[in-house]
Structures are given as C-alpha cells and as structure tokens.
Amino acid sequence: QAQKAAQDAATTATAQGGHAAAQAARQALQMEAAQQQLVAAVIYAYKRWGWFRNVVQAAWRGIQTAALWAWNVVLKPTF
C-alpha cells in the first residue's frame, strides 16, 4: 500500500513537472511570436511611411550622438 502510494505521488509530481515545463515553453514561444510580430510591424512601417522612417532615423542619430559623447567624455578618458 505505502509503496503504491509513493509511486502514485512520484508519478503525479513528474506529470506536474512536465506540465509546468510545457507551460513555460508555451509562454516562451508566445513571447518569441510577439517579438517577431513587433519586428515585422516596425519593418513594414519603416518601408511604407516616410514619417515613421524619419522618426527612426532621427532617433538613431540621437543614439549615435549620445554614444559618441559617452565614449569621448566618459569612457575614453577613463582608459
């Protein structure tokens, strides 16, 4: 009796662990799909709408300027 109960408990725990792993994998796949859809939407908007392309390019110029400032003013003098 006790051995059967222990086996049943182990089987249930294994099944629950497998279910949890499947849930985690499904959530990871859903996040990956959402990321792919977001990238596809950004590419579509960049190719289709000039105003969106201008915003992206202006943001990229700002990022480049900030990175160069950080390199020249903060990092380069440190090293």
* Residue-wise pLDDT tens digits, 12-35: 767 677 778 888 889 999 999 999
Does one domain contain both 59 and 69? yes
For residue 57, the enclosing domain spans 49-79
Does one domain contain both 16 and 40? yes
Reported as half-sphere exposure (CB side, CA atoms, 13 A), residue 74 has a value of 6
Q: Stretch 49-65: mean pLDDT, rounded? A: 98
Structural domain tally of the chain?
2
pTM: 0.60
Does one domain contain both 40 and 7? yes
What dihedral do alpha carbons 42, 45, 47, 49 form, nearest 10°? -150
Q: Would you place residue 59 in the very low, low, confident or very high pLDDT band (cuts 50, 70, 90)?
A: very high
CA distances 50 to 39, 45, 47, 56, Å, are: 17, 8, 8, 10
Q: Would you place residue 78 in the very low, low, confident or very high pLDDT band (cuts 50, 70, 90)?
A: confident
Q: Would you place residue 1 in the very low, low, confident or very high pLDDT band (cuts 50, 70, 90)?
A: confident
Average per-residue pLDDT for the chain: 90
Does one domain contain both 35 and 53? no
Does one domain contain both 63 and 38? no
